[in-house]
Amino acid sequence: MNNLTEQVEDYLRYSQIERGLSANTITSYRQDLTAFINFLKKEHLKTWPTKALDIDAFLAQQRDLNKATSSISRLISSLRKFYQWLVRQNIQKINPMLEIDSPKKRRSLPVALTVDEINHLLDQPNTNKKLGLRDRALLETLYATGIRVSELINLKFNDLHEELKLIKVFGKGSKERLIPISEVALSWIDSYKEKVRDPLILKVGQNCDFIFLNSRGTALTRQAVWQIIKKYCNMAGIQKNVTPHTLRHTFATHLLENGADLRVVQEILGHSDISTTQIYTNLSQKHILQVYAKTHPRT
């Protein structure tokens, strides 16, 4: 088993150095391949399986653990890439993953907030308090730009181009893109910087390039942003299951409902494939039907 673990570590090093994959992707690969090794250990298999039947047995075990379809799909993807590497390295001659199909994904509509709900949410932070002002600026930025939470926590002040009303973000695969940001969001960021962030930096005596900081003067984590959003959703009495990604969905939905072009939304969100963006058209079509039903005299 040590040999298998060493090969996984070699593969992960290759993925990080040669392919330039992110730390989050490497963590996911390690988690998936470790689960596979643990399965092989229980089955007393000392080499990588060459039969699709053994891979199917592993996937069946994962389904028995009530893993979601998306998790099974990710496992298959991880194993597929790993076996391709094994073959290229002449560690394996047979690739059983060629016989394994990915499960059909049920594409559910993303949760989005209504305009009233998002306005109510944005009004919740007490901006007379330091953390409240930071949280208002943070929420306004998420809704104004549709950026991912990972992009938000990595935002720096030199990424802001206030005179152009643009921000620079680094998305998946470190792809850089410039996207619009509203004057409203910029004004909240400026207020937070002047009244909260700059005094905090002076107090802790240590500079930090990131825009959104915790009370210790260091960058916020993804978990902290999630907790901030949950806190204000509870205060606003919003019953939906809201995550940082929900604000991204809400941003895209509201743009499309107000006539934005799908390609423009794709560019702003940083989707490499427009089919990823097209899920939002279902939501905007629903909005169109509601408007039609309310406004047509013969419905």
Q: What is the mean predicted confidence (pLDDT) over 193-209?
A: 92
The pLDDT tens digits for 60-71 are 888 888 888 888
> What is the pTM assigned to this prediction?
0.62
Look at residue 206 in the predicted model and tell me its pLDDT. 85
Q: Give the model's confidence band at 291: pLDDT under 50 very low, under 70 low, under 90 confident, else very high.
A: low
Q: Give the model's confidence band at 298: pLDDT under 50 very low, under 70 low, under 90 confident, else very high.
A: low
Q: Give the model's confidence band at 205: pLDDT under 50 very low, under 70 low, under 90 confident, else very high.
A: confident
Q: What is the mean predicted confidence (pLDDT) over 28-51?
A: 92
Residues annotated as catalytic (active site), given as ranges: 148, 172, 245, 248, 271, 280
Q: What is the mean predicted confidence (pLDDT) over 177-197?
A: 95
The pLDDT tens digits for 212-268 are 999 999 999 999 999 999 999 999 999 998 988 899 999 998 998 888 888 888 889
276 pLDDT exceeds 90?
A: no
284 pLDDT exceeds 90?
A: no
The full set of domain ranges for the chain reads: 2-99, 115-295
Q: Give the chain as a DSSP string.
A: -HHHHHHHHHHHHHHHHTS---HHHHHHHHHHHHHHHHHHHHTT--S---SHHHHHHHHHHHHHTT--HHHHHHHHHHHHHHHHHHHHTTS-S--GGGGPPPPPPP-PPPP---HHHHHHHHT-S-TTSHHHHHHHHHHHHHHHH---HHHHHT-BGGGEETTTTEEEEE-GGG-EEEEE--HHHHHHHHHHIIIIIHHHHHHHT----BSSB-TTSSBPPHHHHHHHHHHHHHHHT--S---HHHHHHHHHHHHHHTT--HHHHHHHHT-SSHHHHTHHHHHHHHHHHHHHHHH-TT-
CATH architecture for residues 2-99: Orthogonal Bundle (1.10)
Look at residue 109 in the predicted model and tell me its pLDDT. 63
Look at residue 162 in the predicted model and tell me its pLDDT. 93
CATH of domain 115-295: 1.10.443.10
The pLDDT tens digits for 135-183 are 999 999 999 999 999 999 999 999 999 999 999 998 776 788 999 999 9
